[in-house]
Amino acid sequence: MRSSGLLCTWCAILAAVLVACVDPPPPETIDRESFVQAYVALRTAALQRGAASVDGPVRDTVLRESGVTEEELLTFAEVHGEDFTFMQSIWTEVSTQLEEVTFRPLAADTVDAR
């Protein structure tokens, strides 16, 4: 009887150790299409302004219109960043979509024209 109690204790300890060693699941992220669309929108806004990137109110507006947050973009990149093949396909898609964009200068009366 005593040995079965000891065995149960050891099994419980082993189970606890195994659970502790398992990596937690990655955080939830936005889907691939949302990431690509938001990134293309950000790059398009920057290129329309002749800038390397956008920040402040312009960035906030682009992200809001894309339906994602900066944190969601960063989480997506953090979760998937080490998957070279996946990220390569993402950047290829972004590049392809940017090649299809027709750039027109912003109107002089545009509030955020720079």
Write the CA distances from 11 to 4, 20, 32, 110, integer angstroms: 10, 14, 42, 69
- pTM of the entire predicted model: 0.69
pLDDT value of position 64: 97
Please say if the pLDDT value at position 107 is more than 70: no
pLDDT value of position 88: 96
Q: Considering only CA atoms, which of 68, 63, 71, 69 is closest in space to residue 45?
A: 63
Cβ–Cβ < 8 Å for 98, 44? yes
Decide which of 11 and 64 is more confident.
64
pLDDT value of position 100: 86
Please say if the pLDDT value at position 39 is more than 60: yes
